[in-house]
Each structure stands twice: as structure tokens, then as C-alpha cells.
Amino acid sequence: MGSRASSLLREEDIDEIKKETGFSHSQITRLYSRFHSLDKGENGALSREDFQRIPELAINPLGDRIINAFFPEGEDQVNFRGFMRTLAHFRPVEDNEKNKDMISGEPLNSRTNKLHFAFQLYDLDRDDKISRDELLQVLRMMVGVNISDEQLGSIADRTIQEADTNGDMCISFSEFTKVLEKVDVEQKMSIRFLH
């Protein structure tokens, strides 16, 4: 029903999440309803299967990588705080004007953090470098069986060549940022949340 869900969320929790993520009160309660409706096991946490049950996400070529981004290293469950923390990356940037008193450090939805989120889609082993193998793996996920290994290999090589400035045949986060500096990250990695 998505109904009584909000009564399980305490006001203190909502305030903390508000400070950490910048979402408004009503947005947090609506997202909690959504979290609750995805949580089929009703244990206050989502597993990977809960995400896989969304058909449009299951057919997304990068679906598994996106789902992975919600789960901290080595864990199989994500609670509502973690869910909101990940979603906060996709808040539009201009909304920050309303929340000047954020916790110190950059807000979760800054341009840098958005780029970092995307970077981690490629960086499978989280060593802060995109190696040729990692790039190939992600490319293979996106194209399926439609492109040959050799072709994919040359695409990967070309991409690394263009981005790599320090010659280590890997793409570091700063090189990643440099290549994409003209891309409108703020708009392309943001979702317009209502009210």
C-alpha cells in the first residue's frame, strides 16, 4: 500500500537525513514510501534482489553496476540512510542555495561528487584507477554480444590514450574529470525531484 510506511520514520531521523542529503521533508517521506514498497522482505533494508525486481532497471545494461553503487564494500543490505545518501548525489545542484548550513565538506550532489559516482561505475575494484580491463568489462556490459573483442579492445585503447596524461595506461579520477570538463554534468547527472 505504501501507506503506513511514513509512521515508521521518526522525526529525528528525517532531520538528520535532511542535513546530510539536502532533501526536503516531504521528499524524504515520499522516498521512504518508495523504499518501503521495494522492501519486500519488510526488514528495513534492501537487498540486490529487491532492486532487480524493477523491470526497467533489470534491462538497463549498467543495471548491476548501478545497484552495486548503493551497497557499501562487502555488504548485502542497504538501509534507508544509505539509500538516501546514494540518491543525494542526483539532487540538482541549484537546490543547494536553500541549504547553506550543510555539514562541512562538499555537499553530496556537487559536480565533483557526481563525477566520482560515475567514475566508480567504471572502477570496479575501487582502487581509484580505471584500468584497461575494467573499461573493457564495462564496455562489454553496455554493448552485449554485438561488438567483437578486437573492436572493443581498440575502442578501449583509444579512450585510454585520449584521457591518460601521466602515461600509466590507466585513467585516474583527475584525468577522468579533465576529459569531461566541458560536459554538463550538473544537468545530466541530476534528477528533478518534485516538491
Partner 1 sequence: MEGAWEIAFVFFQVWLSVIVGLIMLPAMFGVSLGFTDIYIKVLVKILEWATLRIQRGQKEQPTLPSQSANGIIEKDDGSMEEEIGELRRSHPKNLAGGDFTLCDAFYFCKKGIENIVEDQVTQRFTSEELASWNLLTRTNNNFCYISLRLTIIWGLGVFIRYCILLPLRITLAVIGLSWLVIGTTLVGLLPSSNVKNWLSDLVHITCYRICARGLSATIHYHNKENRPKKGGICVANHTSPIDIVILANDGCYAMVGQVHGGLMGVIQRSIVRSCPHVWFERSEMKDRHAVAKRLKDHIADKNKLPILIFPEGTCINNTSVMMFKKGSFEIGGTIYPVAIKYDPQFGDAFWNSAKYNMVSYLLRMMTSWAIVCNVWYLPPMTRQDGEDAVQFANRVKSAIAHQGGLVDLSWDGGLKREKVKESLKEEQQKMYSSMIVGSDFFEASVGPA
The one-character DSSP state at 3 is -
Residue number, 107 or 109, with CB nearest to partner 1: 109
Residue 102 grid cell: 550543510
194 counts as binding partner 1 under rule CB under 8 A: yes
Q: Please list every residue from 112 through 151 that binds partner 1, using CB under 8 A.
A: 117-118, 121-122, 138-139, 142-148, 151
Which of the 8 DSSP states describes residue 94?
G
25 contacts: CB under 8 Å, gap ≥ 6 = 14, 18
Interaction pattern, residues 154-183, with partner 1; x per rule: CB under 8 A: -x---x--xx-------x----x--xx-xx
- C-beta of 45 vs 66, nearer to partner 1: 66
Q: How far is the CB of 147 from partner 1 (least distance, A)?
A: 6
Identify which of 152, 184, 181 has the alpha carbon closest to the alpha carbon of residue 165.
Answer: 181
> In this structure, which amino acid lies at residue 20?
E
Closest CA to 149 of 133, 168, 169: 133
Q: Minimal CA–CA distance to 171: which of 115, 106, 105, 89?
A: 115
Nearer to partner 1, 6 or 104 (CB): 6
**Chain residues 22-81 in contact with partner 1, contact rule CB under 8 A:** 25-27, 29-31, 33-34, 37-38, 51-63, 66
Length of the chain: 195
Residues in contact with partner 1 by CB under 8 A are 1-4, 6-7, 25-27, 29-31, 33-34, 37-38, 51-63, 66, 87, 90, 117-118, 121-122, 138-139, 142-148, 151, 155, 159, 162-163, 171, 176, 179-180, 182-185, 188-195
